[in-house]
Amino acid sequence: MSKKRIGILTSGGDCPGLNAVIRGAVKSAATAGMDVVGFIKGYEGLVDPVQYIPLNQKNTTGILNRGGTILGSTNKGRFAATVGVSDRLELDPELLAGVKTTFEQLSIEGLICVGGDGSLAVAQQFHEYGLPVVGVPKTIDNDLSATAFTFGFDSAVACATDALDRLHTTAASHERIMVLEVMGRHAGWIALYAGIAGGGDVILIPEIPWTFDDVCQKILRRDREGKRFTLVVVAEGAHLPKGGMVTKDRREEDRQVRLGGIGAVVASEIESRLQRDTRVMVLGHLQRGGPPTTFDRVLATQFGSNAVRLISEKRFGEMVCYSPPAFDSVPILEAVNVLRRVDPNGPAVQSARSLGISLGAHPEQTTSNEIYSAANDTAELENVADEFEAVV
């Protein structure tokens, strides 16, 4: 009797832990008596031309701590299923038919799709077409619904925290204001967690409105306390006070618009208003690269193992999820296009505020905008700051 054969692919942006998922799936499949094939460059490897490699314990040895993915990935192309947050693009029926042919020719009895909301939206369409698929959640932004954490997030936070540790010493030495821009398109989890862990003084995220006045008031308050430097952490998707996000280019047909540049905008505004030496650093893809943290290695390995279990139990159309301390599953449909965002009144935000971190004007406080309007001379920023301090 021939062994069952399953497939696995990694789709979307790379992140630490993808290889750990592959390794976990291969080792678990071997224990269950299954063969595994890995499709190259995500969904693109499934058809025209079909590109795959057999995976076994020998050629996946030593990849647990390696960043990236040995299978390659892509976040654009023929299999783009979403643009923006929730706009679904229907896949070409001929493309789906070609994927079905590949399944039949290779005798694939289940496919593990590792990806974020866009990639899993493709997996959902596969499921609706009748293809046997299961999902594994992947995104450094930690914004995928139905799971407490996604692998890659902890590694990205560790990278951003390390950057803040390094910026802290140079900021203190030169009495500078340092602005660190981190990833986070629609959710501010990386900025919030790294800001708390790295001793940030101001954290700007998409979920909480803020103003440049708020930021400047925090800096001036620190000055009066004898702290002549400030660390500002801003998520790339944080909305500007007047609305809108800072983007690098227009949106292409098969991918979302590229964000980036808000750090420079914030730094320029601070320097202009306060006449203070201000520098900006953009981490960018550093957050995606490098080896995964211990937490992400364990999480990703268990995701891979549990994905094989779902295939064994024929629970297709489901996504592995982490509900501490257990691993469970939910329908993929419940996980895609429902962003998990930071709760403005949640425990992490409350803790940050209690530590004195500024995240924007508190809804129950008199805002600096109100005080600026009441001031006779807004150019006298120090005097206005004193008034603000007395009110709050």
By annotation, the residues acting in catalysis are 141
- CA distances 215 to 74, 137, 199, 241, 392, Å, are 38, 35, 16, 11, 15
Say how far apart CA 240 and CA 331 lie, in whole Å: 35
* Residue length of the chain: 392
Comparing C-alpha atoms, which of 385, 150, 344 is closest to residue 352? 344
Question: Which two tokens mark 32?
Answer: 């269950």
The count of C-alpha atoms lying within 13 angstroms of the C-alpha of 81, restricted to the half-sphere facing its C-beta, is: 23
Chain centre distance of CA 75: 14
Say how far apart CA 387 and CA 368 lie, in whole Å: 9
Contact 176, 279 (CB under 8 A): yes
Instruction: Give the dihedral sign, CA 235/240/243/245.
Output: negative
For 46-74, letters b (16+ CB in 10 Å) and e give: bbeebebeebeeeebeebbebbbbbbbbb
206: three-class secondary structure by DSSP:
coil
Comparing C-alpha atoms, which of 333, 383, 344, 351 is closest to residue 146? 333
The vertex-17 CA angle with 147 and 40, nearest 5°, equals: 105
Say how far apart CA 287 and CA 315 lie, in whole Å: 33
Give all strands of the β-sheet with 133-137 in edge-to-edge order: 52-55, 34-39, 4-10, 108-115, 133-137, 318-323, 326-331
Report DSSP state, residue 177. Answer: E
